[in-house]
Every structure is written in C-alpha cells, then in structure tokens.
Amino acid sequence: MPPDHTDRHTDLFRRHAARVYAYARRHVEDAQCDDVVSETFIVAWRRPEQVPDDPLPWLLVVARNIIANQRRTSRRADQLWFAAVREGWAMTSPAADAGLAERELILTALGACTRTEREALLLTAWDGLTPQQAAVVADCSPRAFTVRLHRARGRLRSAVDAQEEPRATRAQPQPVATRIIEESS
C-alpha cells in the first residue's frame, strides 16, 4: 500500500475509532467491542476506495454489518443500549442528584420507544449523524428515517411527560425497568 494510504488509514482510526466503539457498545457486549472496532477498520484498510470523505456513517454501516454477522439469535441486545447510554451519559448538571434523575428520566423514556425509534434517536443525538447520514446506517430512505425520527421524538417527549406527572408525588425517581426485546439486525 502506498504511504499516503497508510497515513490516511491511521488518521481515520485516530479520529473515528472512539465513535465506532460508542456505536458498537450499544449493540454488543463491551468485551466484543474491540473486535468490532478492529474489524471495521480492517475493512476500511482493505477497501480504501470505498471510504467516503465523510467516513463516520460508512464506518458505522460496516460496524453494523459486522455486528449482524457476529450476533446469534440470542444476544440480549436490548439490554446493551441501556447500559451504554447510562455509562456514556455526560453529566452536565452541577447538582449530581438532579443530573442522575434527569438521566434516569430519559433512560426510562428511551425504554418506552421502539427499538427502531430508539436507534434513530441515538444515531442522531449521540452518534452525531444527520438524518441523511443516519438513514444510511439505519438502512432506510432519508424520508423514512425523518418520519421515524419525528415519531421517536414525539414518543420520547410523551414518555417524559408521563413520568413527570406522577414523579411530583414521588420522593425519588424510579429505576428503569428495561424491556427485554432482542434486536433483529
């Protein structure tokens, strides 16, 4: 391989490996993430001509396919997003209790969304993709993704509102009851 390809690939890894990891963490066990990241960048190494100028969506598609190849019918994937979001949640509130309550509130609301809605929310809000980019990762048309995201935002909002009413009478936020639904892709 020419040196510029090697440099480009090294730079690609340096700039995007963490985001590929964050995506993988929502879909496979943490112990498997290194493999997903590694294989993703091996694909990029072997297919340099396919890596676009804006590479993150492409990398996430590769990661998605690798994860799909790895997964047996039995992965408990729906539990994984929950742990990943909880662990990755960036605390911005100066009050720790308030920050935790807010996190649990959103986690519960995310749990009320469907799998595809939740993925739409996290692809854009957490992976930082535009709806057009996220549509590629979600394997649907931009229009379909936009509709899905709109619906997801509405459901998320409703779920938060539904919690806040009874919350006023509770001393502490309730823990999230994670729904156990396998992911299918």
Partner 1 sequence: MNATDAYDVLVAHRPTDEDLTGAWTAERSASVADSVLAVRHSAPARPWVRTRRAVVLAAVAAAAAVALELGPGLLPDAAPRASALEQLAETAGDRAPVTLPAGSYLHTVAREEQVGLQRDRAAFDMDTGFESWTDAAGTVWRIDIDRRSGTTAPMARFTAPTPSLSTPDVAFLAGLPTTTEALAAYLAGHTEGSSSADEAVFTGATDMLRSGLASPALARAAIGALARLPEVRTTRVQFAGHDCVQVSFADEQRRAGVVTAVYLDAATGQPWGETTTSPQLRFTRTVTDQGVVTKVPAPVGTALPDASEPDEAVSGRG
Which residues within the stretch 99-118 sit at the binding site for partner 1 (CB under 8 A)? Answer: 102-103, 105-106, 109-110, 112-117
Is 11 a residue that touches partner 1 (CB under 8 A)? no
Pairwise CA distance, residues 145 & 171, whole Å: 38
Give 24: exposed, middle or buried? Use CB within 10 Å, 0-12, 13-18, 19+: buried
Smallest separation (angstroms) from partner 1 to the CB of 47: 7
Q: For 6-19, give the secondary structure using H, E and C.
A: HHHHHHHHHHHHHH
Stretch that binds partner 1, among 8-16, 52-60, 130-138, 168-176 (CB under 8 A): 8-16
- The residue (of 106 and 136) whose beta carbon lies closer to partner 1 is 106
Cβ 58 to partner 1 shortest distance, Å: 15
Q: Which is nearer to partner 1, 97 or 161 (CB)?
A: 161
Of 21 and 146, CB closest to partner 1 = 21
Q: How far is the CB of 144 from partner 1 (least distance, A)?
A: 12
Task: Dig out the tokens for 2 from the structure.
Answer: 């020419």
Structure tokens at 130: 């535009």
Residues 6+ apart with CB under 8 A from 63: 20, 23, 24, 36, 37, 40
Instruction: Assess contact for 43 and 79: CB atoms under 8 A.
Output: no
Going by C-beta distance under 8 Å and a sequence separation of 6 or more, which residues neighbour residue 23?
A: 60, 63, 64, 127
Among 132, 158, 172, 174, binds partner 1 (CB under 8 A): 158
Please identify, using beta-carbon distances, which residue of 99 and 142 lies nearer to partner 1.
99
Which residue has 């539904």 as its token pair? 162
How far is Cα 53 from Cα 42, in angstroms, rounded to an integer?
Answer: 17
**Closest CB 109 distance from partner 1, rounded Å:** 6
What residues between 41 and 100 interact with partner 1 by CB under 8 A?
41-43, 45-47, 65-66, 69-76, 78-79, 87-92
In the region spanning residues 131 to 150, those forming contacts with partner 1, defined by CB under 8 A, are none
Provide, rounded to whole angstroms, the least separation between the CB of residue 136 and partner 1: 18
